Amino acid sequence: MKYKIDIVRIRENSITLNGWVIGKTPQSRAAFRVVGEDRRPVKFRHVSTRRDDVSQIYYKRTYDRDFGFDICFPYERGKNYWLLIRCDGRVARIKFNEELIAKRSSVAYKRMEKIRDLMNWETVRVACEFARKHGLKALFLKSKHKLQGFDNDYDYQEWYELTKPSQEELERQRKEKLPVQPLLSVVIPAYKTPEDYLREMLDSIQAQTYSNWEVCVVNGSPEGQGQTIEKVMSQYAKRDSRFRYKNLGENRGISGNTNAAIDMAEGGYIVLADHDDTLPEHALYEVAAAINVHPQCEMIYSDEDKLDMDGGALFDPHFKPDFNADLLTSVNYICHLLIVKRELLERVGGFRHEFDGAQDYDFIFRCTEAAREIYHIPKVLYHWRCHQQSTASNPQSKLYAFSAGSRAIMAHYERCGIPAEKVEKGVDYGIYHTTFCIRDNPLVSVVIPNKDHRKDLDLCIRSILEKATYKNLEFIIIENNSTEKETFAYYQSIQKEFPQIRVVTWEREFNYSAINNYGATFAKGEYLLFLNNDTEIIEPRLFEEMLGFCQRKEVGVVGARLLYQDDTIQHAGVVIGFGGIAGHTFIGLHQAENSYFHRAMCAQDYSAVTAACMMTKAGVFRQVGGFTEELAIAFNDIDYCMKVRAVGFLVVYAPYALMYHYESKSRGLEDTPEKEARFNREIAIFARRWPDILAKGDPYYNPNLTLRKSNFALRDLLKEKIGEPYRLEVRL
């Protein structure tokens, strides 16, 4: 028998335990008893929970069995209690009292628990499999990052308590009379909802600091199975007329039930919520305040986190970017809390049953396509109830939802006129990878500056010519003050060997921007790929992956995912503000490791990408005047992306366009006083050119996340005040 108590909570005069137990076989059954100090039985409530993660780890497959448990029993302070678990003839006795529970709740105990969890044979097996697949160095890096995670400045629960509105602020919100006070209709489809969970959701709405709301609950439970919901709703409706409900007498499916709840709504804004989740007290106030500031906004969404089964712990916060069209086609990142203006809903229609399983994904796509303005509130306004250990649940059980999600994405592409070939599973279920159709086989001009380093250049060129599946390419090699005669001999031989290669000569001092601008004047292609000479192709479909995005009319720039030689990430998009100016995301993370909500493996819009491998439309390049030659060394690629965005184009990160980047072999480091002074001057130039984004923050990042690291960790409350812009200091 194996078991684990994941969560212990004291709530008033009761103890709630969440955990799991398994026996020698999946068919083994566990029995539970609770006894007090006098050894007499204590009455308890037991609810079985599905734990596909446990089934997968210990039985190597998923069984239609509930291996988890939620147990609640009355508790008198100062006394001892024992939980008895019997399985396969063995009995485990777990003692509980106030002192032990307080100890279990401490940060130090939780860290030790995490370390102890790793010290088992199952962890060894998983580690061995990872090492066999990715190598010992990758395993070392993953283990290092895992252990570093135990030493964060804050766990999320602590961070949330420190950042949530104070009681004084909540009271201020209750008293405030906003100029516009829209009626917010919270629509909730209910189906066999546990009474406790439904009451918690309704109580969380009743506690809102903003008062102009209504709740519309539709009971879609089959006839004879929805009495509990009806009883609860009738109690709330008697006490408060803002609560309304309707019994359907049948289950119309999640889409039909939700549409029925929407039909009941009388408000100008529809707030979508699930029947067993909760809202923090300030959620609807923040929505109403946003509507006052953005009256044209037709769609609003917020950040969210997860709530454990007993409602006592928050975890796994999802801090999202502002609206990110390409990220949405990779994953339904919007999810909760979602508010839609009634006029928009009437234009696009309600939920569609043919997309059940991903009905909200399809609905969100149609709303984003038609919305005049979309606003993101960068605050956690929704607590989504789920088990803390459920994130590794059985992928097979999600196949129907994944299939519906793929169809929702394809339907979006069809409505938008985007030629997509297929949508398939990405790094995990619920994460998608789109293959686009390439129109007209356009010529791509690969522009590569070079000074000596002929071996690097040769590896770069030959890796593309030998491995890349896309063939309509030309190469513009910009000779930049080489001194070795072997370099010039190489130029002659490579041009003879490959007629699509042309070498042009730059005869002035080094200036990255001017050199690339010069090279681009010789390019004949419809698309330009700016490329460092110290790169090597990994993914044969690199050009198709980048062209698939770049050929869209609204896209101006596309960047690739670049790895160091040891398979750790060198570039996976750029965030403005990292390190004071700009920096790459997820630097040093091994490509086999999971990034924050899989962001490193999601196609998405960013403020910038690196020109170490950057594709752009030739017409857009000319429109914005190419690279800014005042930025001779640093930030010229970031500046170029900012210029492209300023004229209305998107900058897209394409994670499946993959190369090695051997990192600045050609130019060397900024390791002299002269180079450092030049670097600092260019920082100041960039800051003067783009002050707004440096002051307000990157819209494709989130102000709750740190600017001091590249791993999307929580913002350090001691060093970075939430909501305060990053203060840039430049020495000249």
3-state SS, 298-313, equals: CEEEEEEEEECCCCCC
Low-confidence ranges of the chain (pLDDT < 70): 10-12, 53, 62, 98-154, 225, 387-398, 664-672, 675, 718-732
Q: State the DSSP H helix or E strand holding residue 136, giving kind and residue range, or none if neither.
A: helix 136-149
Name the CATH topology of 2-130: Immunoglobulin-like (2.60.40)
Question: Which residues, 6 or more positions from 51, have their beta carbon under 8 angstroms from its beta carbon?
Answer: 20, 66, 67, 68, 387, 389, 390, 393
* Residues 529/546, Cβ–Cβ less than 8 Å: yes
For residue 614, with 0-12 CB atoms within 10 Å meaning exposed, 13-18 middle and 19 or more buried, which class applies? buried
Q: Counting runs of H as helices and runs of E as strands, what totals does the chain give? A: 23, 29
CA angle 495, 501, 504 (to 5 degrees): 90
The DSSP result for 68-130, as a single string, is: EEEEEEE--TT--EEEEEEETTEEEEEEE-HHHHHHHHSHHHHHHHHHHHHSSHHHHHHHHHH
72-116: pLDDT as tens digits: 888 887 788 999 999 998 999 988 876 655 554 444 444 444 445
Residue 635 CA: distances (Å) to CA of 474, 612, 629, 680, 695: 26, 12, 11, 11, 17
Tokens 């009256």 appear where?
295
Question: Which residues, 6 or more positions from 82, have their beta carbon under 8 angstroms from its beta carbon?
Answer: 34, 35, 36, 93, 94, 95, 96
pTM to 2 decimal places:
0.81
In 3D, which of 22, 30, 25 has the Cα closest to residue 3? 22
Q: Where are the beta strands (DSSP E) in 572-694?
A: 574-576, 582-584, 604-605, 613-617, 650-661
Residue 150 has what pLDDT?
39
In 3D, which of 715, 693, 712, 713 has the Cα closest to residue 599? 712
**Is 444-696 the same fold as 167-392?**
yes
How far apart (Å, rounded) are the C-alpha atoms in residues 610 and 628? 15
What is residue 269's DSSP assignment?
E
The tokens describing 231, both together, are 């009883």
* Residues 612/571, Cβ–Cβ less than 8 Å: yes
Neighbours of 192 (CB within 10 A): 14
The tokens describing 507, both together, are 């005869």
For residue 580, with 0-12 CB atoms within 10 Å meaning exposed, 13-18 middle and 19 or more buried, which class applies? middle
What is residue 568's DSSP assignment?
B
For residue 133, with 0-12 CB atoms within 10 Å meaning exposed, 13-18 middle and 19 or more buried, which class applies? exposed
| Sign of the torsion formed by the C-alpha atoms of 15, 18, 19 and 21 | positive
What ranges in 506-541 are assigned the alpha helix state H?
512-520
* Residues 18/309, Cβ–Cβ less than 8 Å: yes
Q: State the DSSP H helix or E strand holding residue 245, giving kind and residue range, or none if neither.
A: strand 243-247
Q: What are phi and psi of 88, to 5 degrees?
A: 55, 40
* Residues 517/627, Cβ–Cβ less than 8 Å: yes
The tokens describing 326, both together, are 């390409």
Question: Which residues, 6 or more positions from 336, have their beta carbon under 8 angstroms from its beta carbon?
Answer: 272, 273, 274, 277, 301, 302, 304, 382, 384
The tokens describing 290, both together, are 């946003």
In 3D, which of 18, 15, 22, 119 has the Cα closest to residue 77? 15
Q: How far apart are the first and last CA of the chain?
A: 67
- Give the residue extent of every domain in the chain: 2-130, 167-392, 444-696
Residue 530 has what pLDDT?
98
Residue 52 CA: distances (Å) to CA of 192, 361, 535: 22, 24, 42
The tokens describing 659, both together, are 């190369």
How far apart (Å, rounded) are the C-alpha atoms in residues 89 and 75? 28
Name the CATH topology of 444-696: Spore Coat Polysaccharide Biosynthesis Protein SpsA; Chain A (3.90.550)
How far apart (Å, rounded) are the C-alpha atoms in residues 79 and 100? 11
The tokens describing 453, both together, are 């380093």
Amino acid identity of residue 474, one-letter, is E
Question: Which residues, 6 or more positions from 120, have their beta carbon under 8 angstroms from its beta carbon?
Answer: none
CATH class of domain segment(s) 167-392: alpha beta
